[in-house]
């Protein structure tokens, strides 16, 4: 048995070495072959991938921000296929992948942008929404442009799903995000130093949170400065049609 297991671990090391070699190759086509091989492993032996996921993704996440647009898009699309196969086995690398995927939402390349949106949608469908909400909430203030709008919109949806499960956890994560917006937003919906108008998505977030928390949220808001209370009321009254 010991001999079998040591042979198995040698085999695993060889497979990891081969995968790594392809993923860091100079030629972009070989890097694409590396991504295909990883997807193949996910289909045929998901246990191999989830058991070694941190090591594999140390290299693979570089492909999610590859300077070659084809590789970048293909890597994002492969994550869409991997998540349903790995499910919770994906959790150890969720933070690093979400962070990079959010950056891809600002890509001017429509293929990369669409693939990044699909990754987030797939995560919401298959992975723990509460964990996702915690990760995304912690990153919002570092975002700008389209990524900030899309992610705030995404948070509004996550609140509706996660709040009934763990209200206190959601409040702890989301209220600082809401205060960040309400305290920094200029009346027309712009955040100083950031591009894009967030008024509509922040209104969505405020409404989603208000629907779950009701009067409790209003009590929190009334402890905020006067201009924050007014902005909050305006956002709740906003017609989102």
Which residues form the domain of 106? Answer: 8-127
Which is nearest to 89 in space by CA: 45, 119, 150, 58? 45
Q: What is the pLDDT of residue 5?
A: 65
Whether residues 134 and 123 fall in one domain: no
The DSSP code sequence of 12-76 is HHHHHHHHHHHHT-SSHHHHHHHHHHHHHHHHH-HHHHHHTHHHHHHHHHHHTT-SSHHHHHHHH
Q: What is the pLDDT of residue 197?
A: 84
Q: What is the pLDDT of residue 189?
A: 74
* Cα 197 to Cα 92: distance, rounded to the nearest angstrom: 33
Here the tokens at position 146 are 């389209």
What is the tally of structural domains in the chain?
2
Whether residues 156 and 110 fall in one domain: no
Confidence of residue 239 (pLDDT cuts 50, 70, 90): confident
Span 22-27, average pLDDT: 98
188 pLDDT more than 80: no
Here the tokens at position 201 are 């998505």
Confidence of residue 89 (pLDDT cuts 50, 70, 90): very high
* Cα 201 to Cα 151: distance, rounded to the nearest angstrom: 9
Which is nearest to 194 in space by CA: 152, 133, 132? 152
Among 95, 127, 159, identify where a domain stops.
127
pTM over 0.85: yes
Whether residues 146 and 160 fall in one domain: yes
Residue 102: CA count within 13 A, CB half-sphere: 27
Among 78, 95, 127, identify where a domain stops.
127
Among 100, 127, 154, identify where a domain stops.
127
Which contacts of 106-110 are long-range, i.e. CB under 8 A and separated by 24 or more positions? 106/144, 106/145, 106/146, 106/147, 107/72, 109/69, 109/72, 109/73
């Amino acid at each position: 048995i010991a001999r079998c297991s040591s042979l198995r671990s040698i085999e695993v090391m060889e497979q990891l070495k081969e995968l790594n070699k392809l993923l860091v190759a100079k030629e972009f086509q070989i890097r694409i072959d590396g991504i295909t091989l990883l997807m193949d492993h996910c289909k045929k032996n998901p246990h191999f991938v989830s058991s070694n996921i941190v090591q594999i993704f140390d290299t693979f996440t570089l492909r999610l921000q590859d300077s070659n647009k084809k590789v970048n898009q293909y890597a994002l699309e492969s994550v869409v296929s991997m998540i349903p196969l790995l499910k919770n086995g994906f959790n150890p690398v969720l933070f690093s992948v979400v962070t990079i995927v959010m950056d891809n939402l600002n890509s001017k390349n429509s293929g990369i942008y669409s693939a990044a949106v699909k990754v987030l949608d797939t995560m919401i469908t298959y992975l723990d929404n509460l964990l996702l909400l915690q990760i995304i909430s912690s990153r919002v203030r570092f975002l700008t442009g389209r990524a900030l709008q899309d992610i705030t919109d995404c948070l509004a949806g996550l609140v509706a799903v996660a709040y009934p499960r763990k209200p206190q956890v959601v409040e702890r994560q989301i209220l600082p995000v809401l205060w960040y917006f309400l305290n920094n937003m200029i009346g027309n919906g712009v955040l100083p130093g950031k591009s894009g108008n967030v008024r509509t998505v922040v209104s969505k977030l405020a409404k989603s949170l208000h629907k779950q928390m009701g009067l409790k949220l209003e009590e929190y808001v009334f402890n905020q400065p006067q201009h924050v209370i007014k902005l909050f009321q305006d956002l709740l009254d906003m017609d989102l049609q």
